[in-house]
Amino acid sequence: MTIIGGGVIGLTTAVLLAERGHRTRVWTRDPVERTTSAVAGGLWWPYRIEPEALVGAWSTRSLEVYEELAADAERTGVRMVEGVHAGLDLDGLGPWAARVRGLRAATPEECADGGLWARLPLIDMPAHLAWLRERLLAAGGTVEERTAKSLDDVLDETPCVVNCSGLGARELVPGDGTHPVRGQLVLVENPGIRTWFTSVDASPATTYFMPQPGRLVLGGTADDGDWSLEPDPAVAKDIVERCARVRPEIAAARVIGHRVGLRPARASVRLEREARGSGRVLVHNYGHGGAGVTVAWGCAGEAARLVAEGTA
């Protein structure tokens, strides 16, 4: 069995399949440490992802797993961290919100403009991806730096393929609407901030900061259709200034790096089995935008179910 894609969706799916007894290999165009997932801020929260009717179940299943993994944060990269979503209220959330223990309205001291307080999984993505890879290898799986030229070519080598190619789906499944949403981040030395903060709306400019080991991650942007992987100095300056309006000590924090990632967005996640005939099984699992880490385990479970049905 071949999983195309070495980001959080592909690795999580591969781990689940390998641990269920499948001979599993991952093809990744880029090293795991250089995938889009490695750039992500890493906060669990259903963010700009459809279909809404399914996202809640995928997200809460992932939440359950991350709550368990947080017991071994040093190895897994998963911690439970408190913070505030500014501008959100409970009435605007789906039924999944009832599963988030302790989710409540923020006090004026926690957020002057109102919002939601929560204790959520905050995932150090480089560490978590490395841990997923090691868990896959321990289950007998393999990871190969190899580019899939076409789905048919991969199916000629192995009769079961799970397409977790993210933005690569543009080449493998042309014309299906997958497109980039550019995100730019600034990494600074943490001046002592221990909680996360987000203020996200429909505009391309979003404001958030995430305390990760050895750094504070500042964001961000959501530029639809922008393919540039070069950090924009003016955008970086604006990100720092916006975050410093929330926590003034950020203004003096030393900048230690810049990151850009292209979220693999689509009108809705594609998670389905496609008939290819001749005993071949193709399952699609892509189009998660910026919420891949939020739904990874839920989508992996559904992909594994589709594989099992297709190979029965």
Q: Are residues 292 and 183 in the same domain?
A: no
**pLDDT band at residue 68 under the 50/70/90 scheme:** very high
**257 labelled as ligand-binding?**
no
Could you identify the residue written with the tokens 């987000």?
198
Q: What is the 3-state secondary structure (H, E, C) of 258-273?
A: EEEEEEEECCCCEEEE
Q: Are residues 241 and 290 in the same domain?
A: no
Residue 86 lies inside a defined structural domain of this protein:
no
Here the tokens at position 11 are: 């690795």
Residue 109 lies inside a defined structural domain of this protein:
no
What digits encode the pLDDT tens for the residues 232-262? Answer: 999 999 999 999 999 999 999 999 999 999 9
Provide the residue range defining the domain that includes 191: 179-265
Q: Tell me whether residue 281 is exposed, middle or buried, using C-beta atoms within 10 angstroms of its C-beta: 0 to 12, 13 to 18, 19 or more.
A: buried
Q: Tell me whether residue 106 is exposed, middle or buried, using C-beta atoms within 10 angstroms of its C-beta: 0 to 12, 13 to 18, 19 or more.
A: buried
- Rounded mean pLDDT of the chain? 95
Which ranges in 8-80 belong to alpha helices (H)?
8-19, 52-69, 73-76
Q: Are residues 52 and 153 in the same domain?
A: yes
**56 labelled as ligand-binding?**
no
**28 labelled as ligand-binding?**
no
**289 labelled as ligand-binding?**
yes
**294 labelled as ligand-binding?**
yes
What digits encode the pLDDT tens for the residues 69-98? Answer: 999 999 999 999 999 999 999 998 999 999
Q: Are residues 187 and 282 in the same domain?
A: no
Q: Are residues 169 and 188 in the same domain?
A: no
At residue 202, the pLDDT reads 58
Here the tokens at position 76 are: 């897994």
Q: Are residues 144 and 50 in the same domain?
A: yes
**286 labelled as ligand-binding?**
no
206 vs 298, residue with greater confidence: 298
**41 labelled as ligand-binding?**
no
pLDDT at 113 over 90: no
Q: Are residues 66 and 154 in the same domain?
A: yes
Nearest to 290 by CA among 264, 266, 260: 264
Residue 50 lies inside a defined structural domain of this protein:
yes
**pLDDT band at residue 311 under the 50/70/90 scheme:** confident
**150 labelled as ligand-binding?**
no
Residue 92 lies inside a defined structural domain of this protein:
no
Domain at 286, CATH number:
3.40.50.720
**13 labelled as ligand-binding?**
no
Report the first-to-last Cα separation within the chain, whole angstroms. Answer: 14
pLDDT at 220 over 70: yes
pLDDT at 204 over 80: no
Number of folded domains that form the chain: 2
**220 labelled as ligand-binding?**
no
Residue 196 lies inside a defined structural domain of this protein:
yes
